Amino acid sequence: MISIEQMAFVLEALPDPAFILSRSGQYVAVFGGRDARYYHDGSGLIGLNISDVVTTEKAAWFLEQIELALASGKLLIKEYELSNRDVKGLPEDGPEQPIWFEGRIQALDFLVDDEAVVLWVASNISERHEMEIKLRELSDTDQLTGLSNRRKLERDLALHVETFERHSIPTSILMFDLDNLKNINDTLGHHAGDEIIRAVGDICRLELRKTDTACRFGGDEFVIALPNIEREHAVQFADRLRERFTSELSRFSTGGIAVTVSIGVATMMAEDRSYEGTLKRADDALYEAKRDGKNRVIAA
C-alpha cells in the first residue's frame, strides 16, 4: 500500500498543476505543476481567492465553471485563455499572445470548512492550440492566392445571413471573373494565368477591410463579401475595384488581349431566403456583364 507521505510526493510530482478550489473561489490547495517550461510555483495562491488573482470578468467565468461542475457531479472539460491583461499585478507590456489551457474540473465528495470543493487540473495547451489554428487556416485558404476558399466563404455568409435576419444589417456580394484569361493561357501558358490569379489575390488584400471576405470561388472566379455595405456603395466600390484591376493587370496584356474583370453585385434581401439566393443574383449579374461586353459592373 502506498503511504500518505508517498502520495504527497506523487501529487507534488504531477507535471500539470492541480488546484482544490472551493465553491466561493478560494484556493484550498495546490499540487504539481512541476513542468517548469509551462508553469510557475503556485504555492503562493493557497488562501487567496480567484478574484484576488484575475480580473472580475475572468473570475466570474471561473466561478461559473466551478458551479457547473458541482451541479453536474461529472467531469467538466473547458478550454480557456489567460493573458497578461487577465492576471492582476502583471505589467501591461507582458507577452502579447495569451496562454491557452485545458481545464478538467471534477466535483469532490467532501467539504472543506463546510464548503463544496472541486479538483481543477490545468494543462497548458498553447502549442496545440496554435497548431489547430494553423491547420484551420490552411483548410480555409486557397493555396494559389492565399485568399479564403469556398468553405470559409460559405461559413462567413451563413453568419452574415443571421445578422441580416436579426438586425437588418445587409451584406453585399461581388462575384467576378477574369476576362480573356483563356486567351492568355493559350498564348503565354498556364503559368502566366496562375500569376494573374495570384495578382488578383494581392489586389484584394490591399483593397478590402479586415471584416470583408475575399474568396477564390473556383478557377478564375472570385467572390467578395462586404458586410454592412448597401447596394449603392457596393456598386461604387466594385467599379473602383474594376478600375484597379484594369490598371494593375495591364502588364499581363499581350497581342492586343487585355486582362480585365467583369463584376456582378447583389445585396442581401429577405426574398433571397438564404445566401445562395444572393450569390445566384450576383452570378446572374456577372454573366450579364460578360454578355454586355465585359470589363464592367452590373448590379442585380
pLDDT in tens, 193-231: 899 999 999 999 999 999 999 999 988 999 999 999 999
pLDDT of 90 higher than 70: no
| 80 beta partners | 101
pTM over 0.75: no
- The confidence band for 80, taking pLDDT boundaries of 50, 70 and 90, is very high
Most confident of 20-24, 80-84, 139-143, 215-219: 20-24
pLDDT (tens digit, 9 = 90+) per residue, 173-185?
999 999 988 888 8
- Per-residue pLDDT, averaged over 36-59, amounts to 87
Q: 140-299 sits in which CATH class?
A: alpha beta
User: What is the predicted pLDDT for the residue at 93?
Assistant: 52
- DSSP helix/strand/coil, 176: strand
| pLDDT for residue 238 is more than 90 | yes
- pLDDT higher than threshold 90 for residue 283: yes
Helix %, strand %, coil % for the chain, to 5?
Answer: 45, 30, 30
Q: Are 296 and 242 in contact (CB under 8 A)?
A: yes
**Under a CB-based contact definition with an 8 Å cutoff, are residues 224 and 147 in contact?**
no
Return the higher-pLDDT residue of 298 and 252. 298
Per CATH, the homologous superfamily of domain 4-132 is PAS domain (3.30.450.20)
More confident: 265 or 88: 265
**Mean pLDDT for all residues in the chain:** 90
pLDDT at residue 245 greater than cutoff 70: yes
Residue 296 makes CB contacts below 8 A (sequence gap 6+) with 242, 262, 263, 289
Average pLDDT of span 32-43: 76
Average pLDDT value for residue range 151-156? 92
- Taking the C-alpha atoms of residue 162 and residue 155, their distance in angstroms, rounded to an integer, is 11
C-alpha angle with apex 62: 44 to 72, nearest 5 degrees? 120
User: How confident is residue 130, by pLDDT bands cut at 50, 70 and 90?
Assistant: confident
* Cα–Cα distance, 177 to 125 (Å, whole number): 42
Please report the pLDDT score of residue 5 as a whole number: 79
Domain ranges of the chain: 4-132, 140-299
Q: Which residues 6+ apart lie within 8 Å of 111 measured at CB?
A: 117
- Alpha-carbon distance 233 to 272, whole Å? 20
Task: Assess whether pLDDT exceeds 70 at residue 96.
Answer: no
Among the ranges given (39-43, 63-67, 214-218), the one the predictor scored with the smallest mean pLDDT: 39-43
